[in-house]
Structure 1
Amino acid sequence: MEFKSKLKGFMTVAAVILTAYGCSSSPGDEAGTATEAGDRTEAVRVLELGYSEIARSINYTANLRAFTEVHLAPAQPGRVDRIHVEAGDRIGRGQLLVEMDRTQLQQARLQLAGIEKDYRRMDTLRKVGSVTRQQYDQVKTQYEMAESNVAFLMENTTLTAPFDGRVSAKYFENGEMFSGAPNTPAGKAAIITLVHTSRLKVMINVSERYYRHISEGISVEITTDVWPGEVFMGTVKTVYPTIDPATRTFTVEMVVPNSDERLRPGMFARATMELEQIEAFVVPALAVLKLQGSNERFVFIEENGRARRVAVGLGERFDDMVEIISDELSEGDRLIFAGQARLVDGVAVEVQW
């Protein structure tokens, strides 16, 4: 009896709890909560969108390069007899830089001298008809090959500077063997490397959307961390004619005068190009909101007393102002720039001036 009495009491309490829960979760109450949220009004401030004229500029980072870089090496392996320069030396066009071992050249000259005698003798005999044309042609061919070999060895026994510049690297010492195997950071074989630094070049890969805006001769501003606050002017030299389908970029080559050689190849630099004057919407940066967990940016527009959310892209930034880009925005739209953090799409708003 005691157990039945306790069970009956438990069931009574459960019934009371279920009844209370059912009353508090009625459809009518849920509708009332939703209506209350939808009827709330947020106080906001707005500004009227209008076009501003801005300079479209693009900024890219790059490494400065020598205008010309040559990895100097003979056409065939051999012993390095003497190197006349060291890394960092200034050199002039035509200056003797490297001498290779002359043993092969001397042997080739002796061989040429012997063949030349045979050729002269054969030429005399041909004129009197004592040898056939075929015999004469064979000796003539041998003489021409020996002469070409001597010229080749002479050209590659001494290496001279092809331009005015500096020696940027030296890879061998006197007496060492040059094998012809790649030994430079560029993956090429060389005894020394020469650079022309009175002009430098900058190579950048630019987004394809700017292709029609960039042409040869456009001015470029170059800045570096080595010379903070200083701007070095350059120009666009070459716009490569193809787009890389993998990156959707094209290559632009720029030239920077460097007569005082304050800039050096390998320096980190920033290149800025002013492309054109355009009209754009420039608004306070605080008016632009970011969707949490993504890179999506958006703003709110006030229309007929309600907030409308509009996705935007970002363009140039000007201190506390930023360019916004969207096909959904028009001149004269009322942009909400205060109170927007509490808004959701479609909520009622009250404009305060």
Structure 2
Amino acid sequence: MTFLSKLMMATLMTSTALATAAGACSRLAKPSDHGVAYVRSVDWGKKTGMDLVTFGVGDDVTTYTADGYTAQADGNARNFTVAWVENNAFYGVQAQAFNDKGMVADTLYMSVSADFIGAYEDTDAPAVNLADAPGYLVAMYDTAPQIAAAYEAGEFQLAWSADLGAAGQHGVHVSAVDANGDVTLFQVNEGGKVMVYTGNVQDSDLGVKANAPLLQEHRANIAQFNAEDGKTAANVPADISSPSRHLRLAWLNQNITLEGMSKAEALGTVQTMYDSGASVPAQVIDPTIGDTYTTWQTSRTILGDDVVTVRDFSTAAEISYSITDAKIAHELNGGQVCADAMAQANEGRRMIEFTPCQPGAGS
């Protein structure tokens, strides 16, 4: 987007560092009596951070340049948005963004798509750079079905083959989940074909998301596992690879219900499920890449609720922020405000304070 740290994008990250941590990050969205309970993490080989950045209604949300694409996605935000910008390892890339309508959008790594994105062909629709796709999508659309419909109508395309700064081309997948539990997931398959999956977390498998392989292969893996080991965990793999994380989360999702729980209990249970299935301790080797990465942060909420809680896994410090408070701070400041969430968490605060942004904080 057009604020503050665009100049930092040129030094995004080295290709080597990206390649060695290509199996990182997961997400779980699960229905409860209070709405969709949601948690995601950022896992990487280098310690990551969490700078929160606001975009108000009417703010310019033009995305990073997508070289090689005919049209650039631009516009003015229709929804108030809080984006998680990662500046420690990715220098301005958004991992996630929430809007005030209860929708979240995420980018997660999808290494196998890196082999296919070169075949993707520009549709001439306005191109959204993957570096800030989460903020753009939730700022411009209210719900996941709206995103899918807008994509099909040619209102935007995702710039799959555009460079993310100095990092070059890399595979990711993009999803949005709204307060109704509706999901839209974008993945690039062989030949540059974009698969758009839609459904609801109540009656589909789209509430679980990890990394490689592509969704159809995860589904085949889960079907084979269920045929062998339906309702016990005897054969659930323990390694940290993406296929194993996805399988564990899917198994937990199938066998645990949040029905009858209070809001606090639902959030606690979904965090426990996530920690059991997807959180990655330091120093453990992923057998699929021969390298290690760890979970650095999570965000947790009931979609549509005002409060989002984030955790620093290196210290176990937690802190929350209110989307309403962020909006008030944005309005009082006359524009964008920011917060270093992990720094404030480790100061022992309970609620995040948003203040005027410093250079390099946002995107």
TM-score band, normalised by shorter chain: under 0.3
- Give the number of the structure whose residues are more often strand, by fraction: 1
TM-score by length of 1: 0.19
